[in-house]
A and B are shown apart, each in its own frame.
Chain A
Amino acid sequence: MDIIFGRLTIESLPFYSAIAASGAAITVLGALSVAGVITYFGAWRLVLFDWVSSLDHKKIGIMYIMVALVMLMRGFIDAAMMRSQQAIAFNNDGYLPPSHFDQIFSSHGTIMIFFMAMPFLSGLINLVMPQQIGSRDVAFPFMNSISLWLTTAGAGLVLISLVIGKFSTAGWTGYPPYSESQFTPGVGVDYWLWAVLISGIGSTMTGINFLVTIIKCRAPGMYLLRMPLFTWTVFVTSILMIFAFPALTVACGMLVLDRTLGFHFFTNAMGGNMMNYINLFWLWGHPEVYILILPAFGVFSEVVAVFSQKRLFGYISLVLATMAIGLLSFTVWLHHFFTMGSSARVNSFFGTMTTIIAVPTGVKVFDWLFTIFRGRIIFKAPMLFTLGFLVTFTIGGLSGVLLAMPPVDYLMHNTTFLIAHFHNVIIPGVLFGYLAGYMFWFPKAFGFKLNDKWGAWSFWCWIIGFYLAFMPLYVLGFLGMPRRMEHYEIAAWQPHLIVAAIGAFIIFLGIVCLAVQLVVSIRDREQLLDLTGDPWNGRSLEWGTSSPAAPYNFAVLPQVQSVDAWWDMKQRGVAYQRPDHYEDITLPKNTFISAFIGGAGFVFGFAMIWYMWWLAILCLASIAGAIIIRASDDDSDYTMSADEVKAIEDARFAQLAKAPKNEMEDEPGFAGQPVPEAST
């Protein structure tokens, strides 16, 4: 092995197959065109000094969501390739060889969970949660930025695996012994491992950061039981992140030791045991499902109240249900492998615990329905996603309870029924929630609303596409079709797979609508301006800041007196009051150290994958050095003087004066609300 380049040779470039080469070409061209656009607009200074180096939680949130949307595209391309392959591969090999098909299903799952859903989640939370609790920032802004850049480093490793080498073929779960070097000797599994490990460390730090923020940084009067439900779900999700992600880090770390140093934790022979990996993996994997969906439940809780123009029904029940789900999520991991030969006693315990989760989840669904009851629904795009979720998610819950029964699981495990089930909770549950949140809070991030018509079109494509793509997979489960079939010889499967491919195409139209919505909204931003900062007649504190919010969010920390703090302030007529005087505000300075750590993490992962030991050591040393430099920097904050704050706030009140009426007033179905009073 080469001492400089390790395993890396010129043969690692994907010139061996047309499909692999075009994937690489698209990746490289994509990166080049982004760089080209930035150069064309002369925006490098802006990108680097205002964004990459920023420690502002709102900008970090926006960057997270940008990563998520890019990875959503990439993950969807994988899905489209799988669906089209399976639609045609009856009694023939289709267009994808097995060794390519398995890379695609592995990267699809890995990307959608780790690099689409996780960044989307962290992005929304970063953007919204500190404002919801009336805070000026997260507890650890620098660590927040490191988390972002480590997640991006992981995503970068997955993307670069298209260009240099190959990706894992072991599925997104990477089960040994298949993922051991005996069976998969190439770099693919190492790409997967290091992408997951590096971003997983970022996610653990994110969890710590959010939890401490919620515990320590709430505005005066924001008692725990006055927190908006989104913040509650973030609270529970953060706890799950902190406890669950170390299990993943340990499992992947041990697999790295097996593969790289010839250990035998999970090997077939020499005392290894693959079942240990599978337990550890799902000890993270099941809570992960709730890490993803609880904040989506939080978004639905906010959206359903705002667009029903009514208080959220059953606040305490929803909080208790969230806590219960969080607790139970650690007691069910074994249901991912009922078929591994556990005794009936063990299986029935974990099966029963799993079905119990249906109770708090059912409570949530009913509470959302009763929020709509006797409300005045305004059918904006975020609300459409919420209503689509309510109807569709129940099917996913139903199939989830079915799979929780070990005897049913014996039949349906590893079949497309399972695939249909988890897409049924992850698309209408998780993704619809994030998309609703994206459209709901977009004005808060950028100061103008998204075009609602294109949002509605996107919703209809997503939901119709979803039904067409995944209902056939439920049926295919009854027909016994296993997941990950690259071709097949059973004629009865094909019609269903063709319908599923059509569904995937309609989902693609939904993604196109999302892109068009963004472009059209940027074009028409003058008409879509959100002058008040409260475009939807909102209820929680984030609507009390300007859109986009000032770097400090709140010039004066709000005094919270009830649940629905902002709504309450509007009712009491104290919502837009100008304070007597402003004070100096301390904020974190921009820094490139966190982005440097992310970059070094990326190169470190790359070096470990290709066995370039010198480079790995160099990267670790430079990360350690960067942390020491940062830790010895006593001048990491700057103070915004009261005069500067006053100037920004004066501009805000001038803007408010120009926007005398409630932005929702023209909506059909608006129930009538106090007009925001801009005091002089």
Chain B
Amino acid sequence: MRQTLAYRFKGIASAIAAALVCAGCGFLTSPVVDPNGPIALTERDLLFKAVAIMMIVIIPVWVMAALFMWRYRGTNRGARYTPNLAYYWPVEILVWGVPAAIIVWLGLHLWHNTYKLDPYSAIDPSVEPLKVEAVAQDWKWLFIYPEQNIAVVNELVLPVNTPVSIQITSDTVMNSLLIPALAGQIYAMAGMRTELHVLADKPGHFWGRNAQYSGTGFADQQFEVIAGTKEDFDAWVDKAKGSGDTLDAATYEKLAKPSQKVPVTYYSGVAPNLFDGIIAKYARNDAELRPSTARAEPAE
């Protein structure tokens, strides 16, 4: 019996070791562990801190489980056996008290950080943020820069160390805007406006995407995020301004139709209040809306 047990433990140990080796693959360089902005960094730190504090309960559980399983195996006649032990008040106090204390600590952190990291609140109220308007479409993202009067499909370019305020809506089903290197996600819903404040503090190329399943083109509904210097950003704006296309109502209608793997497209001008119009049209009782985004049953 002892031999088989040891043999089994070896089996589990090697399985766990394999899992850990695998965990090494890309973990340390992942967007969550190694983010490009303070929001994601604070969210990550909260995660790690919570893991550490919960180890106060988890490690004893594992140690006790292993110890008790071994020591109180039925064949070990040397171990003490108290078949009627069913209540011991210090244990009761401990098992309620310690988890409760940890949860109080966690709850305070949770409350504080939820306010601090509220996606709607500005990162630095004294600085006017760069405004970006994001529209989820089938199956792409449209980013409008109202102050620059440009728009771009499937690319988000940001100057570093500048707070960015992203206003989000959807012109189709529910989407979720996720840029893991910068901040957590928030849903995009038709007829509604959500908000996400981000800041990149290191230049770099990373990715963002829709994280909420939205149909056939979902897997490819991603975009590149480029964080560069102020000069890089201005150069990029100029490049977009050089585009021959403008995003007027008719072009928008065409763009909004379902399409997949849409290449990066620049628009040098945007129809005034386009973003607000996309939200407002769902408030109208306008049956004409329906055909523009209606989908056919996908073919196999």
Residue numbers of A with Cβ under 8 A of B are 16-17, 20, 97-100, 102, 169, 171, 175, 177-178, 182-186, 268-271, 274-275, 308-317, 337, 339-341, 343-344, 347-348, 351-352, 355-356, 358-359, 362-363, 365-367, 369-370, 372-379, 387, 390-391, 394-395, 398, 401-402, 404-415, 460, 463-464, 467-468, 471-472, 475, 477-480, 482-490, 492-493, 495-496, 499, 667-671
CB-based nearest A residue for B284: A269
Q: Is the CB of B43 within 8 A of A408?
A: yes
With contacts A183-B173, A480-B32, A480-B180 known, is A351 near B50, CB below 8 A? no
20 contacts between A and B (CB under 8 A): A99-B299, A102-B213, A270-B287, A313-B91, A317-B95, A341-B120, A351-B114, A352-B107, A370-B95, A374-B80, A398-B51, A411-B184, A412-B184, A415-B211, A482-B178, A482-B209, A492-B25, A499-B18, A667-B74, A670-B74
Q: Is the CB of B114 within 8 A of A479?
A: no
User: Quick check: is B106 within 8 A (CB to CB) of the other chain?
Assistant: yes
Contacts of B217 in A (CB 8 A): 98
CB-based nearest B residue for A502: B18
Q: Is the CB of B50 within 8 A of A171?
A: no
CB-based nearest B residue for A670: B74
User: Quick check: is B64 within 8 A (CB to CB) of the other chain?
Assistant: yes
Contacts of B186 in A (CB 8 A): 339-341, 410
Nearest CB of A to B93, in Å = 11
Distance A582 CA – B11 CA, assembled complex (angstroms): 55
Q: Is the CB of B214 within 8 A of A178?
A: yes
With contacts A311-B85, A312-B86, A667-B74 known, is A480 near B31, CB below 8 A? yes
Nearest CB of B to A171, in Å = 6
Q: Is the CB of B95 within 8 A of A366?
A: yes
CB-based nearest B residue for A667: B74
CB-based nearest A residue for B98: A362
Q: Is the CB of B65 within 8 A of A391?
A: yes
Binds A, one of B147-155, B230-238, B290-298: B290-298
User: Quick check: is B118 within 8 A (CB to CB) of the other chain?
Assistant: yes
- Beyond contacts A178-B215, A347-B114, A407-B113: 20 other A-B pairs, Cβ-Cβ < 8 A, are A99-B299, A169-B215, A182-B294, A183-B172, A271-B285, A310-B85, A317-B92, A344-B121, A347-B118, A363-B96, A365-B61, A370-B88, A376-B73, A405-B46, A408-B50, A410-B119, A460-B8, A467-B15, A467-B16, A472-B19
Q: Is the CB of B178 within 8 A of A358?
A: no
Contacts of A340 in B (CB 8 A): 186-187, 189, 194
Nearest CB of B to A605, in Å = 21
With contacts A374-B82, A405-B106 known, is A413 near B113, CB below 8 A? no
Distance A584 CA – B226 CA, assembled complex (angstroms): 83
In chain B, positions 55-72 with a C-beta closer than 8 Å to chain A are 57-58, 61-62, 64-65, 68-69, 72
Q: Is the CB of B293 within 8 A of A669?
A: no
Contacts of B44 in A (CB 8 A): 411
Q: Is the CB of B184 within 8 A of A495?
A: no
Q: Is the CB of A378 within 8 A of B32?
A: no
Distance A333 CA – B297 CA, assembled complex (angstroms): 32
Contacts of A407 in B (CB 8 A): 42-43, 46, 113-114, 116-117, 184
Distance A390 CA – B62 CA, assembled complex (angstroms): 8
Q: Is the CB of A372 within 8 A of B68?
A: yes
Q: Is the CB of A359 within 8 A of B96?
A: yes
Contacts of B211 in A (CB 8 A): 413-415, 482-483
Contacts of A669 in B (CB 8 A): 73-75
Q: Is the CB of A99 within 8 A of B300?
A: yes
User: Quick check: is B252 within 8 A (CB to CB) of the other chain?
Assistant: no
Contacts of B95 in A (CB 8 A): 314, 317, 362-363, 366-367, 370
Contacts of A464 in B (CB 8 A): 11-12, 15
Q: Is the CB of B282 within 8 A of A487?
A: no
User: Quick check: is B250 within 8 A (CB to CB) of the other chain?
Assistant: no
Contacts of A402 in B (CB 8 A): 47, 50-51
Distance A169 CA – B218 CA, assembled complex (angstroms): 12
Q: Is the CB of B25 within 8 A of A373?
A: no
Would you list the 5 A-B pairs with minimal beta carbon distance, nearest first?
Answer: A669-B74, A410-B184, A492-B26, A480-B180, A362-B99
Distance A624 CA – B161 CA, assembled complex (angstroms): 69
Q: Is the CB of A411 within 8 A of B215?
A: no
With contacts A268-B191, A391-B62 known, is A468 near B176, CB below 8 A? no
CB-based nearest A residue for B40: A411
Distance A402 CA – B180 CA, assembled complex (angstroms): 16
Contact of A411 among B91, B180, B189 (CB under 8 A): B180
Q: Is the CB of A177 within 8 A of B174?
A: yes
Distance A313 CA – B23 CA, assembled complex (angstroms): 37
Contacts of A316 in B (CB 8 A): 87
Contacts of B298 in A (CB 8 A): 98-99
Distance A554 CA – B183 CA, assembled complex (angstroms): 62
Count B-side interface residues using an 8 Å CB cutoff: 119
Nearest CB of B to A316, in Å = 8
User: Quick check: is B249 within 8 A (CB to CB) of the other chain?
Assistant: no
Q: Is the CB of A378 within 8 A of B31?
A: no
Q: Is the CB of B72 within 8 A of A394?
A: no
Nearest CB of A to B54, in Å = 5
Q: Is the CB of A341 within 8 A of B81?
A: no
Contacts of B11 in A (CB 8 A): 460, 464
Distance A496 CA – B120 CA, assembled complex (angstroms): 34
CB-based nearest B residue for A669: B74
CB-based nearest B residue for A479: B30
With contacts A406-B114, A407-B114, A472-B19 known, is A269 near B286, CB below 8 A? yes
Distance A480 CA – B8 CA, assembled complex (angstroms): 34
Nearest CB of B to A414, in Å = 4
Contacts of B33 in A (CB 8 A): 478
CB-based nearest A residue for B94: A366
Nearest CB of A to B210, in Å = 8
Distance A495 CA – B68 CA, assembled complex (angstroms): 36
Contacts of A271 in B (CB 8 A): 285
Contacts of B264 in A (CB 8 A): none
Q: Is the CB of A471 within 8 A of B74?
A: no
CB-based nearest B residue for A494: B25
Q: Is the CB of A401 within 8 A of B26?
A: no
Contacts of B32 in A (CB 8 A): 411-412, 477-480
Q: Is the CB of A182 within 8 A of B103?
A: no
Q: Is the CB of B176 within 8 A of A17?
A: no
User: Quick check: is B265 within 8 A (CB to CB) of the other chain?
Assistant: no
User: Quick check: is B185 within 8 A (CB to CB) of the other chain?
Assistant: yes
Nearest CB of A to B227, in Å = 16
Q: Is the CB of B27 within 8 A of A479?
A: yes
Contacts of A171 in B (CB 8 A): 213
With contacts A495-B25, A499-B22 known, is A343 near B74, CB below 8 A? no
Q: Is the CB of A337 within 8 A of B187?
A: yes
User: Quick check: is B212 within 8 A (CB to CB) of the other chain?
Assistant: yes
With contacts A352-B110, A369-B64, A375-B81 known, is A475 near B18, CB below 8 A? no
Nearest CB of B to A63, in Å = 35
Q: Is the CB of B58 within 8 A of A394?
A: yes
Contact of A20 among B58, B74, B185, B300 (CB under 8 A): B300
CB-based nearest A residue for B184: A410
Contacts of A391 in B (CB 8 A): 61-62, 65
Q: Is the CB of B99 within 8 A of A359?
A: yes
Contacts of B183 in A (CB 8 A): 410-411
Point out which of B74, B115, B282 has the most chain A C-beta atoms below 10 A from its C-beta: B74
Distance A377 CA – B83 CA, assembled complex (angstroms): 11
Distance A313 CA – B89 CA, assembled complex (angstroms): 11
Q: Is the CB of B294 within 8 A of A376?
A: no
Distance A499 CA – B21 CA, assembled complex (angstroms): 11
Distance A401 CA – B116 CA, assembled complex (angstroms): 19
CB-based nearest A residue for B177: A339
Q: Is the CB of B285 within 8 A of A269?
A: yes
User: Quick check: is B166 within 8 A (CB to CB) of the other chain?
Assistant: no
Distance A365 CA – B96 CA, assembled complex (angstroms): 11
Q: Is the CB of B113 within 8 A of A309?
A: no
Distance A365 CA – B68 CA, assembled complex (angstroms): 13
Distance A415 CA – B30 CA, assembled complex (angstroms): 13
Nearest CB of A to B202, in Å = 17
CB-based nearest A residue for B26: A492
